[in-house]
Structure 1
Amino acid sequence: MKIWVAVLSILGGLAGLASGFMVTAFGVGFSEDAMADSGAAVFWVSFLSIFFGFLAWKFPKFSGIVLLICAIYGFIANGLFFTIAFIFLFIAGILSFFIKKKQTVSATA
């Protein structure tokens, strides 16, 4: 399960990076400052989502919430350009809630 969270967050983060770059480039090209700003914000949020996908191995609940927030924010900011990234990040965020912590057995004599 941990591997899937990392893989989906990497795929979602890469799709989000591409989405943020495209929206930023088109915003600059069409002289739309708000579009360029939201694209740049989604670019960096997508970059951070890759990091939080790996952080889910240690802190699954916190990372799951952050991945869900990244997915929803990116979809609101970039719209349909962010659809593929939204799907991957949303599934990774949900799956991170199902990561089970290992039980450590301490030997006390």
Structure 2
Amino acid sequence: MKRLILPAVIALGLVFTGTASAAVETYTVDLNGYAVIGFVGHSPEDFARAQQQAQGWERERHLMLKPQTIKAVAIDQSEGAALSEAQLKQAIVAAALAKRP
């Protein structure tokens, strides 16, 4: 039963995460059983929303309300050149590795 509930909770969480704010893009990077969700903001306001979403996700993860195998980070794309999807995924992994568990 637990095996059926966990994927459903993850999928439902990702659906609501993607619809929370249309201006914040969400990318998921799979790292062999561990995943990182990157919330990407393309303006200062969007980046603030992305930070709030990532902090909310992490808060719920630490309270055991979200899966422990998924970490969330916020990426600021409000300044500078736009990154490709591959570069964004690299930035998400780098931010997750730099962030303490």
TM-score normalised over the length of structure 1:
0.35
Structure that is richer in helix per residue? 1
Q: Whose RCO is larger (CA < 8 A, sep 6+)?
A: 1
Q: Which of these two proteins has the greater Rg computed from alpha carbons? A: 1
